[in-house]
A and B are shown apart, each in its own frame.
Chain A
Amino acid sequence: MNVAWWCSAQKATWTWAPQYYPGIWLVMLALLVGYIYAVRRVGPSKVALDEPVVTRSQVTSFGAGWVLLWLATDWPLGALGAGYLLTAHMIQYVAYSLVVAPLLLRGTPPWMRELVLNAPGLGPLRALTERPFLAFIAFNLVLAVSHLSFVSDTLKPIQFGQMFLDVIWLLIALAFWTAIGSFGDDEEHTLAHGKRLLCIIGMTVLPTIPGAFFVFSEFPIYTTYEFATRAFADFSARDDQVIAGLVMWVGMMPFLMVRLALAFFVWSQAESRRAGQI
C-alpha cells in the first residue's frame, strides 16, 4: 500500500494501483466539517429568524465544489498532475481556478464569507477580495510565478511544496472570484459592471501567454514531466505539453465566456431598469 501525505512528483513508474494521501483527506474533511459546523451552530445567530441559514442551492453548490476539489486534488488526477502529465496538472489548475472556487463561493452564504474573512490573520486576503484590480494582478502573478519551470520543477517533488501550490492556487482563485463576483453574484456585488467585464476579459487574454509557450516551445519546459515515466506509452512529453497548453489556452475560454456573458447580461438588465426608472 502506497501512502504519502500529499501528491508529489515521484521517480517511480506510474501505476494505476491506488495511492493514498491522508493529508488530502484531512483537509477535505476539515473543509466539510467546518461548513456543517458553521451552518448548524454559527449560522442561526447570524441571520434573521425568517431567513434561511443556507439555501438548498447554496448547499448543492458547495457540495459540488467540494467533490470537484477532492477529485482534482486526490489520486489519480492529483498524482498524475503532480509528476507525470502536464495535461493532468492543467486540468487540475483550470478546475481549481474556474470551477471549484466559483462553486465553493456560490455555496457560501454572505454571513459565512464575512465570518471567514474576519478570521484572525486573514486581513490580507480580505483586502484582496475588496480590490478587484489587485486581485486580478495577484491571480495572474501567482499563475506566472508558480508556472516558472524552476519553481514548478523544484516544488513538485516535495509533498509540502505541491501542497503549498494547491493551497495558493485555490486561495487566490477564491479571492479573485470574491473580488469580482462569482457566478450569479453580480446583482448584489458592489463592483462596477464595466470593471468586472474588464477583469474577465483580461482573464481570457493573460493565460494565453503561458499556454502559447507550452504549445509552441520546441522542447519540454518542465523536467518533472520530461523525465517522468510515461503514464500512457504513446503520449510523449512534448505531446503532453502541447495538449496542456491547449487546455490552458482554449480550455479556460468556455468558463470565462459564460461568466462574461452573465456579467454582460446583468449589466444590461441593470441599465434597462435604471432607464425605466428615469
Chain B
Amino acid sequence: MNALAVRGLFFALGSFALATLLLAACGGETSAETTSTPLSEGDQVVADLGLHGVALGPLERPDFVLTDTEGAAYDFRAETSGVVTLLYFGYTNCPDVCPVHFSNIAAALKQAPSEVRRNVTVVFVGVDAPRDTPQRVREWLDFFDADFIGLIGTQQELEASQVAAATPPAFVDEEFEGGYTVAHAGWLFLYTPDDLMHLRYPTGVPQSGWAHDLEVLVREGWPAK
C-alpha cells in the first residue's frame, strides 16, 4: 500500500465530512439578513421568549358564533376568553397541512405539564361545509385529541367567522383523488389571555416548538407594555 493511497483515504474521509456539511449548509434555511432596522415590539418579544410564531400587530379575539360537534351554539369570544387559544380554519379531507398541524399540536400537548394542557384551548373550524359534518369533524379531531373543539356552520357563517378572524375565506380549489381540495389559511392563530392575537403560526413549527411556546405563553402570557 503506498502512502499516496493512504493520503487519498484520509482525503476522501475528510471530503465526505466536509461535503456533507457543505451540502447541508448550502441547502439549509438561509439565515436572516443582518439589518439595522430595529425590531418591532412583537418581534422583540418573539426573540426574547424564543417563540416560533410570527408576530403581528395585536388583533382582538374575534367575535363569531358557530355550532359545535354536539349541535350547540359556540360563542368563540365568550367561550375562550382569558385562555391561550389556538384557532384554525381547515377541513377534515385536507391531505397535508391540517393533519400535520394537529398531529404536532396534539403530540406537544400530550408531553406538556398538566397545567399547560388544562389552559390551552384548541379550536378547529371545518370550512368545507358539505363534507365537514359534526360527526366527521368529531371523529377527525378525536384521532388527535378528544379535547379539541370542532366547529361547523353554514357557508355564510363560516365566511363570516373567517372575516372576523381577519383571514380570507376558504374556497374550493381543485379536483383531488375523486373529490376536491379547499384553499384555506394555513396559519394557526394564537390568542393570549389578554384576548389579543399577537402571534400566528405557519406550517412547519415542530412539536418541540409548540411544546415550548404553549408552556411559555400559559405560564407567562404575553408581556404587558
- Known contacts A124-B9, A127-B9, A138-B13; is A154 also within 8 Å of B100 by CB? no
- How many interface residues does chain A have, given as a range? 35 or more
A257 located at the interface, meaning its Cβ lies under 8 Å from any Cβ of chain B in the complex: no
Q: Which residue of B lies closest to A168 (CB)?
A: B16
- Known contacts A219-B111, A219-B211, A220-B207; is A154 also within 8 Å of B8 by CB? no
Question: Contact at B99–A229, with CB atoms within 8 Å?
Answer: yes
B32 located at the interface, meaning its Cβ lies under 8 Å from any Cβ of chain A in the complex: no
Question: Contact at A154–B203, with CB atoms within 8 Å?
Answer: no
- Known contacts A218-B111, A218-B208, A226-B207; is A155 also within 8 Å of B6 by CB? no
Residues 98 to 128 of chain B near chain A (Cβ within 8 Å): 99-100, 103-104, 107-108, 111
- Known contacts A127-B9, A233-B143, A236-B103; is A155 also within 8 Å of B27 by CB? yes
- Stretch of A47-55, A75-83, A145-153 on the interface side: A145-153
Please report the C-alpha to C-alpha distance between residue A230 and residue B97 in the assembled complex, in whole angstroms.
11
Residues 187 to 215 of chain B near chain A (Cβ within 8 Å): 203-204, 206-208, 211
B224 located at the interface, meaning its Cβ lies under 8 Å from any Cβ of chain A in the complex: no
Please report the C-alpha to C-alpha distance between residue A12 and residue B97 in the assembled complex, in whole angstroms.
10
- Known contacts A150-B28, A161-B23, A161-B27; is A13 also within 8 Å of B5 by CB? no
Question: Contact at A237–B13, with CB atoms within 8 Å?
Answer: no
Question: Contact at A154–B24, with CB atoms within 8 Å?
Answer: yes
Partner among A127, A227, A238 whose Cβ is within 8 Å of the Cβ of B204: A227
Contact indicator per residue, chain A 115-146, by CB within 8 Å of chain B (1) or not (0): 00000000111111011001000100110011
Residues 174 to 227 of chain A near chain B (Cβ within 8 Å): 218-220, 223, 226-227
Question: Contact at B107–A219, with CB atoms within 8 Å?
Answer: yes
A11 located at the interface, meaning its Cβ lies under 8 Å from any Cβ of chain B in the complex: yes
Question: Contact at B4–A13, with CB atoms within 8 Å?
Answer: no
Question: Contact at B28–A123, with CB atoms within 8 Å?
Answer: no
Q: Which residue of A lies closest to B208 (CB)?
A: A219
Q: Which residue of A lies closest to B26 (CB)?
A: A154
| Residues of B in contact, count (CB < 8 Å) | 35
Q: Which residue of B lies closest to A152 (CB)?
A: B24
Question: Contact at A128–B9, with CB atoms within 8 Å?
Answer: yes
Contact indicator per residue, chain B 19-38, by CB within 8 Å of chain A (1) or not (0): 11101110110000000000
Please report the C-alpha to C-alpha distance between residue A138 and residue B4 in the assembled complex, in whole angstroms.
18
A158 located at the interface, meaning its Cβ lies under 8 Å from any Cβ of chain B in the complex: yes
Q: Which residue of A lies closest to B143 (CB)?
A: A233
In the complex, how many angstroms separate the beta carbon of B175 from the nearest chain A beta carbon?
A: 14
Query: Across the interface, which residues of B come within 8 angstroms of A155, CB to CB?
Result: 20, 23-24, 27
Residues 43 to 68 of chain B near chain A (Cβ within 8 Å): none
Question: Contact at A223–B206, with CB atoms within 8 Å?
Answer: yes
Partner among A123, A138, A151 whose Cβ is within 8 Å of the Cβ of B20: A151
In the complex, how many angstroms separate the beta carbon of A132 from the nearest chain B beta carbon?
A: 13
**Chain B residues proximal to chain A, CB less than 8 Å:** 1, 4-6, 8-9, 11-13, 16-17, 19-21, 23-25, 27-28, 95-96, 99-100, 103-104, 107-108, 111, 143, 203-204, 206-208, 211
**Chain A residues proximal to chain B, CB less than 8 Å:** 11-13, 123-128, 130-131, 134, 138, 141-142, 145-146, 148, 150-151, 154-155, 157-158, 161, 164, 168, 218-220, 223, 226-230, 233, 236-238
CB-based closest 9 A-B pairs: A123-B5, A127-B9, A124-B8, A124-B12, A124-B9, A154-B24, A13-B95, A154-B27, A219-B208
A-B contact pairs, 18 of them (CB 8 A): A123-B5, A126-B1, A127-B5, A127-B8, A127-B9, A130-B1, A145-B17, A151-B20, A151-B24, A155-B23, A218-B211, A219-B206, A220-B206, A227-B204, A229-B100, A237-B207, A238-B107, A238-B207
